[in-house]
Structure 1
Amino acid sequence: MNDRTEQVDDLHLVALPSAIGCTEMFVRFALTEWALRGMRDVAAQVARALAGIVVSTADPAKPGMITARVRLSGGDLIIEIETARPVPPPQTPQGVRTGAMELEPGRHVVWCTLPLPGGMNAAAVPLPRRQRRPSELTAQGTGLDDPMTMDPEVMQRILYGLNGTQDRRDH
């Protein structure tokens, strides 16, 4: 079995209650991009549980930061929440593996693995291709990348407006 991580995405959040919903949305977005729409609901439920347990252990006066992470490795989708505090593993749906461990002093992770659908391997998941592409207008040579020339009178009116003066003679 190949347990090499094929794709990873993470999000840094403040460990406040709003991080729970943000973590859920982040996982849903990542799975949509990775064409794993069928896993979104259960993965979002698991992510919400993991983030909830981490946020519940945080000090509201000094919540600190957490890192929500999703990884594709081997035949699994792995959801992790990293924090500075020790956290017990949460209750999750039946058949889901969870755990909590200390990575190093002051660095803990709570995690859950979900099997990819149909025995799929992480290397077979179609990942988004992100390449920098010029816009259609730029590719057509419309001159949008040419430096702009500004009428000096217009520029002067803008500067006077930014300074909050009604009349240019005030200066």
Structure 2
Amino acid sequence: MNSDTTQVDDLQLIALPSAVNCTDLFVRFALSEWSLRPMVEETSRAACQLVTEVVDNADPRAPGLITVRLRVCGDRLVVEVDDGRLVSRELPLPAGLTGSSVPLPRRERRRSRAAEQISAEQPVHGGAEIGHEVMQRILFGLNRDQD
């Protein structure tokens, strides 16, 4: 990563057609958080095009992983897509903005209401049985897919 990078966010996806829609949502969310809404459409088009190229060339029977990364670097927004081969596009930030002037998001480390509600509803008995039961269902599902 370049030392001029002031903000970065990335997302890992599987190289399937749904990765294109996920990329669009990721770009929209990240740029909204970074107060770069004027760049959403252009950045989304660039990122989705790069991801589409990777998905189109992927083996649908054994799709690999894709990392989509957005970086604010100097006076540019860099879109990177890496599937073992890194491709990128650089877009200029709006006039008068530099990486250091892009407001960083403030995230609180707190649980969502849904997570708090679920934990309040769970009986307090160690949770070992629940974890084992969930693991059994996962393993059963994975074994069934191999048949």
Aligned-pair distance for 1:131?
3.2
8 Å CA contact 1:75–1:115 kept in 2: the answer is yes
Task: Describe how 1:33-48 pairs up with structure 2 within 5 A.
Answer: 33-48=33-48
Q: Residue 124 of structure 1 is aligned with which of 89, 101, 105?
A: 101
Give deviations 1:79-129, integer Å, cap 9, x for gaps: 111003xxxxxxxxxxxxxxxxxxxxxxx1110000000141111001111
Larger Rg: 1
Structure 2: which amino acid aligns with 1:124? S
Determine the structure 1 residue equivalent to 2:90: 113
The share of aligned pairs that are identical, in percent, is: 50
Structure 2: which amino acid aligns with 1:118? A
Determine the structure 1 residue equivalent to 2:144: none
The TM-score, its normalising length taken from structure 1, stands at 0.61
The list of structure 1 runs, each at least 4 consecutive aligned residues, that deviate by more than 2 angstroms after superposition, is 131-135
Establish whether residue 10 from structure 1 lines up as the match of residue 10 from structure 2.
yes
The TM-score, its normalising length taken from structure 2, stands at 0.71
Secondary structure class of the residue paired with 2:78: strand
Establish whether residue 55 from structure 1 lines up as the match of residue 32 from structure 2.
no
Secondary structure class of the residue paired with 1:110: strand
Structure 2: 5+ residue stretches without partners: 113-119, 124-147
Determine the structure 1 residue equivalent to 2:78: 78
Quote the Cα distance in structure 1 between the aligned partners of 2:59 and 2:110: 45
Structure 1: 5+ residue stretches without partners: 85-107, 136-146, 151-171
